[in-house]
Structure 1
Amino acid sequence: MARRGMRIGLLLIVVLLAAACAEDAIPVVDEPPEEQAPAAEIEIAVQPDEDATTTEYALRCGDDPGWSGDAPTDRAELPADEVCDDLPDRIEAAREALAAETCTQEYGGPQTASVTGVMDGEDVHLDVHRTDGCGIGAWEALQPLLGPAENGEMVE
């Protein structure tokens, strides 16, 4: 009986030691991981009207966010990391606006834009115009990328 008690005692010690070691082996995470901006390489081409020169520039998101190319001053002065944070929602809103089955018949101006590239491994290709309510809605969703347009003229 004494042997049985010793075996149970030793087994209990081994189990307790194993549990204590296992607790130390599990890393404790105090802070949730930081949300990262989407990885994206987006090229933007904006044409104020059919006779104007197209302005081409790019937005890079991820580890080293930034603008490149001929980004207009009002876009280049926007912190790229902030624009990148909102990019997925803005791209989705523009897609929804352009996919609408009915659009208001209003003319917002001659401006056109192309937004192409890759965001989080997904292709992005949006052709935006301001010739109806759907295009105006898409432009407004992408305003940090495309810039404001009022009364048919680009605002610089």
Structure 2
Amino acid sequence: MTLEPGRSAVVLRCPTTSRYAGKPAEGDTVSNTDPTSGAGTPSRTVIRLALPLAALSLALSACTQGGPAAEPTEQETTVQSSTPEPSPAPSPTANGPSASPSPTPVPTAAAPPAASAGSALLTISVKQDAAAEPVQYILECVDGAPGPASTLPNAEAACATLARLGTGFFTARPNKDVICTQEYGGPQTASITGDLNGTSVLAAFALTDGCEISRWDRVRDILGTPGGQ
């Protein structure tokens, strides 16, 4: 700091943290350059010294406020270093596992078309006795109606009988636990073979007891009326 001629000059040094404002530190020099000052004017000397001291106080305050910032303590450094940093979320890689392709369904063999109800192609054979030659007829039914290949008399009623009884009647086996009446209906025998509603059938008929007579009677429109007893 430089003062005008005739004023007291002050050499200023910022004190350390142990010094306080308003008191010159060791090494600070306050000089009076006024040639007119003397020992006989103490009040004037005090005034002249007060002005530099006031300026010194202001300068010390500025040095104290603008001094270096306090360094962080060891505890603060430890807390800051121990705080975990958030790890970045893993980004999807381009070479990640891809979804496995779904298995290709194995084609199954197509089931044959089901025969419509009332369809039949049968051979009817009837014998009057064991020595007689069998008489054969063809019965064809298409959707319950006689087909062009039919040679059986009364084929329309015969097709209606097939539709009523179904395949179960012609494929059932005799029940041995059933007690049949002992009666004789005649020597006639008959058989029905062929395809009925997509099922192969082979059924034999006779008139040897009450059970067989009842079976023949149910297919009378196909086999005809049996002979007399």
- Distance in 2, Cα, partners of 1:137 & 1:52: 23
- Distance in 1, Cα, partners of 2:212 & 2:170: 8
Contact 1:45 1:54 in 2 (8 A): yes
Partner of residue 221 from structure 2, selected from 134, 139, 144: 144
Partner of residue 107 from structure 1, selected from 149, 163, 184: 184
Identity %: 36
Structure-1-length-normalised TM-score: 0.60
Contact 1:38 1:84 in 2 (8 A): yes
The equivalent residue for 2:134 is 54
**More divergent stretch after superposition (82-91 vs 49-58):** 82-91
Q: Aligned AA for 1:127? A: A
The equivalent residue for 1:83 is 158
Instruction: Work out which of the two has the higher radius of gyration on C-alpha atoms and give 1 or 2.
Output: 2
Deviations 1:60-110 (A, max 9, x none): 001672422xx4xxxx1x2x2342122143455566694462211110111
> Within the alignment, does 1:126 sit opposite 2:207 as a pair?
no
SS in 1 for 2:186: coil
- Distance in 1, Cα, partners of 2:170 & 2:209: 13
- Stretches of structure 2 that go unaligned for 5 or more consecutive residues are 1-115
Counterparts in 2 of 1:103 and 1:96: CA distance versus 1, 3 Å: farther
**Map of 1:9-24 to 2, 5 A cutoff?**
none
Q: Aligned AA for 1:87? A: L
Deviations 1:5-50 (A, max 9, x none): xxxxxxxxxxxxxxxxxxxxxxxxxxxxxxx761101111000111
Q: Aligned AA for 1:48? A: Q
Structure-2-length-normalised TM-score: 0.42
Counterparts in 2 of 1:136 and 1:95: CA distance versus 1, 3 Å: farther
Question: How many residue pairs end up in the alignment?
Answer: 109
SS in 2 for 1:149: coil
Q: Greater relative contact order (Cα 8 A, min sep 6): structure 1 or 2?
A: 1
